[in-house]
């Protein structure tokens, strides 16, 4: 029975090592893609983001706000990497969290993650309009043109801040 326990333990250890290696490889690929950050206008102008708040209220943001560029951070409630970014979002008033719609997200969990300091817009249309395919992802918008000044996948708040400084 002791030998069987050792075999099961060794198998579990190997499985964990494989999973950790996969996560590290994914983070490395995201970091490489971040280095290829697009600078300059990209895509068609998107002057607004419309959706609902986690409370169910309709919300529309004007991205052509003369107060300056807005930093959109595309997150989900189920993404492990996103879980590390949610608590940092209140550091910058320009930040808006964009999640998918209610069929993909749990509003109660969003309220818990975002707190009261972060504007959250649930909008799968925004994901499509900005061509976002992975999360977490950040887009810095230019209020004059409605286009992305900078964009890319992010892994940490430092990555989000780097995109925010591109404008």
* Together in a domain, 79 and 159: yes
* Together in a domain, 3 and 43: no
Q: Which residues contact 167 (CB under 8 A, 6 or more apart)?
A: 68, 69, 140, 142, 149, 150
Q: Which residues contact 81 (CB under 8 A, 6 or more apart)?
A: 27, 30, 135, 136, 155
Share of the chain above pLDDT 70, in %: 80
Burial of 51 (0-12, 13-18, 19+ CB in 10 A): buried
Q: What is the spatial distance between Cα 96 and Cα 155, in angstroms, rounded to a whole number?
A: 17
Q: Which of 37, 40, 46, 69 lies closest to 152 in space, CA to CA?
A: 37
pLDDT at 48 over 50: yes
Task: Report the pLDDT value the prediction gives residue 35, as an integer from 0 to 100.
Answer: 43
Mean pLDDT in residue range 115-141 = 91
* Together in a domain, 155 and 93: yes
Q: What is the spatial distance between Cα 164 and Cα 37, in angstroms, rounded to a whole number?
A: 12
* Together in a domain, 28 and 88: no
* Together in a domain, 61 and 139: yes
Mean pLDDT in residue range 23-44 = 49
- 77-93 pLDDT per residue, tens: 999 999 999 998 887 77
- 68-77 pLDDT per residue, tens: 678 899 999 9
* Together in a domain, 59 and 140: yes
Mean pLDDT in residue range 17-34 = 55
How many domains, in total, are found in the chain?
2
Task: Report the pLDDT value the prediction gives residue 32, as an integer from 0 to 100.
Answer: 44
Q: What is the spatial distance between Cα 38 and Cα 152, in angstroms, rounded to a whole number?
A: 7
Domain coverage including residue 114:
38-165
* Together in a domain, 100 and 69: yes
Average pLDDT, the chain: 80
Looking at per-residue pLDDT, the higher value among 133 and 5 belongs to 133
Which pLDDT band, with edges at 50, 70 and 90, does 44 fall under? low
- 97-122 pLDDT per residue, tens: 999 998 899 999 999 998 888 999 99
Task: Report the pLDDT value the prediction gives residue 6, as an integer from 0 to 100.
Answer: 77
* Together in a domain, 8 and 61: no
């Amino acid at each position: 029975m002791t030998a069987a326990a050792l075999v099961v333990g060794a198998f579990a250890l190997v499985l964990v090592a494989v999973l950790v290696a996969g996560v590290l490889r994914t983070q490395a690929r995201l970091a490489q893609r971040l280095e290829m950050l697009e600078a300059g206008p990209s895509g068609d102008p998107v002057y607004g983001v419309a959706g609902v708040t986690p409370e169910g209220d309709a919300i529309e943001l004007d991205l052509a706000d003369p107060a300056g560029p807005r930093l959109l951070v595309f997150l989900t409630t189920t993404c492990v990497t996103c879980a590390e970014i949610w608590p940092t979002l209140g550091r910058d008033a320009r930040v808006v969290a964009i999640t998918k719609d209610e069929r993909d997200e749990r509003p109660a969990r969003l309220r818990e993650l975002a707190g009261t300091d972060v504007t959250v817009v649930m909008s799968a249309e925004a994901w499509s309009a900005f061509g976002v395919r992975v999360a977490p992802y950040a887009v810095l918008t230019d209020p004059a043109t409605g286009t992305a000044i900078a964009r890319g996948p992010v892994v940490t708040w430092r990555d989000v801040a780097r995109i925010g400084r591109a404008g």
